[in-house]
Amino acid sequence: MQIPVIHIQLDDDGIPRTINQRVKVKMIAQKYNVGYGVDLIAEHYNITVADVYAALTYYHDNLEYFEAQAQALQPLIEEAKQYSADLKAKVLQRMADKQANSDKSTN
């Protein structure tokens, strides 16, 4: 009789992770969904191919959970994008002002 091997567990915060290296299932699924191969993911995170397949199985078995999580993060992502754009604009303006002041003092 073979004993099943457990590859995924929930951490103290309820986040599903691989047991071996404690890689988040979400991170593995994200890499896979953008085209990374299973072998490459396993090598990248130093986990087994079985861990990758277990994570992908867990991800697909709980897809609604992961989609809801992504949806909940969307407003924060949009806010961060806006903040980054505003910050970039301020930096560029300061650089332009500094260059203009430098040009004035040179002339």
Question: What pLDDT, in 10s, does the model give residues 7-44?
Answer: 999 999 999 999 988 999 999 999 999 999 999 999 99
* Higher per-residue confidence, 34 vs 5: 34
What CA–CA distance (Å, rounded) separates 24 from 31? 11
How far is the CA of 58 from the CAs of 8, 17, 30, 68, 80, in angstroms?
Answer: 8, 10, 13, 15, 29
Predicted TM-score (pTM) above 0.75: no
Instruction: Tell me what percent of the residues of the chain surpass a pLDDT of 70.
Output: 98
- Averaged over 50-68, what is the pLDDT? 95
Report the pLDDT value the prediction gives residue 83, as an integer from 0 to 100. Answer: 83
Judged against a pLDDT cut of 70, whether residue 107 lies above it is answered with no
Q: How many CB atoms lie within 10 A of CB 38?
A: 17
Q: Which three-class secondary structure state does DSSP give residue 26?
A: helix
Residue with tokens 């995170």: 45
**Between residues 1 and 84, the one the model is more confident about:** 84
